[in-house]
């Protein structure tokens, strides 16, 4: 048995972009999570760190995102990590890591 599960709570960094594959809506946007600055027992400080995540929602979740999720929204997300390799217009291979959303909850605005 194996598990591929991600849980994030963070702030939406861009308004969702909606596109369609055949008739299925897909929403994609960026989301930021932050680790607070902290001090280690030896007195050294680790600065605040922000991680950016690419979020992908399908079907009903994508329709919800289009209507209600905006830049600055606070969001809880559960999903799976997916890696993709694709080739851009200049034939350069690109890698992308995305979170495919299974469950989510809009927590409010920043």
Q: Which two tokens stand for residue 10?
A: 């963070």
Q: Which two tokens stand for residue 84?
A: 């993709």
Dump pLDDT digits (tens) for 52-63: 999 999 999 999
Structural domains of the chain sorted by starting position, each given as residue range(s) with its CATH number in brackets:
22-35+46-109 (2.40.50.140)
Dump pLDDT digits (tens) for 64-87: 999 999 999 999 999 999 999 989
Report the sign of the C-alpha dihedral through residues 68, 70, 74, 77, in that order.
positive
């Amino acid at each position: 048995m194996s598990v591929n599960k991600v849980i994030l709570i963070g702030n939406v960094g861009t308004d969702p972009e909606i596109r369609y594959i055949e008739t299925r809506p897909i929403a994609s946007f960026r989301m930021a999570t932050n680790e607070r600055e902290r001090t280690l027992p030896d007195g050294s400080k680790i600065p605040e760190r922000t991680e950016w995540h690419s979020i992908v929602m399908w079907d009903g979740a994508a329709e919800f995102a289009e209507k209600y999720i905006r830049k600055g929204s606070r969001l809880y997300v559960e999903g799976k990590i997916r890696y993709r390799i694709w080739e851009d217009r200049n034939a350069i291979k690109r890698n992308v890591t995305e979170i495919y959303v299974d469950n989510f909850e809009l927590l409010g605005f920043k």
